Structure formats: structure tokens, C-alpha cells
């Protein structure tokens, strides 16, 4: 008796799923387009931007995750930054890359404290930052974080005086290798890294930061008039670089 063939193992009523060649070609072409769009951009590319240039029936997130898997383990990785994508050198190869660039000035302790408070407590006002730190926050400290592109004005709090609220930017996520704010280290991770020293109060906890660009319930959006009052617009109405 001979060996059974594949066709003998399939019942008469069963159908064999045959990949659609046209569909496969379309997906391969979509991968190539997405790869080219990210490669050609100096900044992380949004999924919306990619979707506009692909067939309407394409699942952009699934497509990008497939492309991310394709680059895993290579010298260049595809990384996700919020809902944006970018190519980055593999982190474990940083030792082999020679950087000819101007030395970046290190942030002061005060700037690091303010950045951490904004990252974990956003949306947060300047007064709330000072309340947490127990000292006044100079305008220069916030200016340094703004110039680095890591902190932005989010909106205005619906309280007397309508104070401006602060939050982090997409560049902040990109610089620190985070896909989203939920990836910020928690209490146990900070303790394990030795970043929390001394006796920690029993009720001490690390807040879960607000994700996304959506305003909180007690926030109003920043208007052009607000930006002018804050000195963020030139007389011509364009934002300062």
C-alpha cells in the first residue's frame, strides 16, 4: 500500500485556502511603500500619513508591526513612537558608532526634576510643579526643556487664573526610547535602578501619566491669543522656531 498523498488527506467537502497572488503582491508593495516613507523622513512618520499613501483596505498598524518584525535583530530597527514610526540604530550597537556632533549640555538637577514631574503628572501647571518640588521653578529651567523639544504647553486649566498646563512631546518619547508614556518606569523599576534612595513614605506612589494628546476634562485648548500672550508667536503670527 503506497503512502497517502496530500490530496488524499483532504475531504471532498473541505476547501484549501489558496493565497491570492494579487493580494500578496499588494501587501508586498504596501510594505515597500511604508518602508520608503519612513526611511525618507527625518522625523517619525504618523500612521495616518502612511495610510493616505496605501490602498484603503490595508491595516496600517498590522503592516508596520510586520515591517518591525522584519527589521528585528538587524543593525537598524523600526521603532514605534506613540502612533508614529522611525528607523533607529539598534541600541546594542551604540558602542560601534562614532558620533561627530557637538556635545550636548547636560541638564541641571532642577531641569531633570521638573522634566520628571511633567512626564509623570501631566497635565501639570507650574504652581503644581513647585508644590511637588517645594521650591520655585525658574523660567530658565522651563525654557531649557522647551528648547530641547521635550516639553510643550498643552492647554489652560479651568480654574481661577486659567494657568497653563504642561506636558511632554513626541520628541521626548523618541529621545528616551519610549513608545508611549505608559512605558515610563514604575516604582519598582525606579527602586531597582537605584533612582529612589532613602526612606520612601508608606503612601508614596508613581502616578500613571495621561496618554495621548487629548485634553483633560478640566483643560481648555491653547488658542492663538494664548500663544501671543505667552510670547510663542512672532508679530507675523508664526510660531518661533
The structural domains of the chain, ordered by start, are: 22-90 (1.10.10.10), 109-229 (1.10.10.10)
Quick: pLDDT tens for 3-50.
555 444 445 555 545 445 565 578 889 999 999 999 999 889 999 999
Per-residue burial over 208-237, b if 16 or more Cβ lie within 10 Å, else e, is: ebbeeeebeeebeebeeebeeeeeebeeee
Note the pLDDT tens digit of each residue in 141-163. Answer: 999 999 999 999 988 998 998 89
Other Cβ atoms within 10 Å of 46 Cβ, number: 17
List pLDDT tens digits, range 101-142: 545 568 888 999 899 899 988 899 999 999 988 899 888 899
Distance, in Å, from the CA atom of 18 to the CA atom of 25, rounded to the nearest integer, reads 14
Alpha carbon of residue 6 to chain centroid: 49
| Main-chain dihedrals φ then ψ at residue 10, nearest 5 degrees | -105, 125
pTM for this predicted structure:
0.59
> What was the pLDDT predicted at 236?
39
Mean pLDDT for 175-181 is: 86
Given pLDDT bands bounded at 50, 70 and 90, which one contains residue 203? low
pLDDT over threshold 70, residue 56:
yes
Amino acid at each position: 500500500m503506497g503512502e497517502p498523498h496530500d490530496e488524499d488527506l483532504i475531504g471532498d467537502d473541505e476547501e484549501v485556502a489558496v493565497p491570492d497572488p494579487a493580494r500578496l503582491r499588494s501587501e508586498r508593495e504596501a510594505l515597500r511603500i511604508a518602508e520608503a516613507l519612513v526611511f525618507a523622513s527625518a522625523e517619525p512618520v504618523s500612521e495616518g500619513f502612511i495610510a493616505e499613501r496605501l490602498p484603503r483596505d490595508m491595516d496600517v498598524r498590522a503592516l508596520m508591526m510586520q515591517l518591525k518584525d522584519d527589521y528585528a535583530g538587524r543593525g537598524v530597527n523600526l521603532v514605534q513612537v506613540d502612533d508614529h514610526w522611525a528607523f533607529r540604530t539598534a541600541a546594542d550597537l551604540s558602542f560601534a558608532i562614532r558620533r561627530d556632533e557637538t556635545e550636548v549640555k547636560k541638564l541641571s538637577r532642577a531641569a531633570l526634576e521638573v522634566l520628571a514631574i511633567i512626564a509623570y503628572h501631566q497635565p501639570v501647571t507650574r504652581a503644581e510643579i513647585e508644590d511637588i518640588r517645594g521650591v520655585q521653578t525658574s523660567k530658565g529651567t522651563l525654557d531649557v526643556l522647551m528648547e530641547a523639544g521635550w516639553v510643550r504647553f498643552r492647554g489652560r486649566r479651568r480654574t481661577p487664573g486659567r494657568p497653563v498646563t504642561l506636558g511632554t512631546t513626541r520628541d521626548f518619547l523618541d529621545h528616551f526610547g519610549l513608545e508611549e508614556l505608559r512605558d515610563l518606569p514604575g516604582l519598582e523599576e525606579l527602586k531597582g535602578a537605584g533612582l529612589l534612595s532613602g526612606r520612601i513614605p508608606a503612601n508614596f506612589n508613581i502616578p500613571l501619566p495621561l496618554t495621548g494628546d487629548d485634553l483633560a476634562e478640566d483643560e481648555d485648548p491653547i488658542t492663538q491669543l494664548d500663544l501671543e500672550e505667552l510670547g510663542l508667536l512672532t508679530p507675523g503670527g508664526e510660531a518661533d522656531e
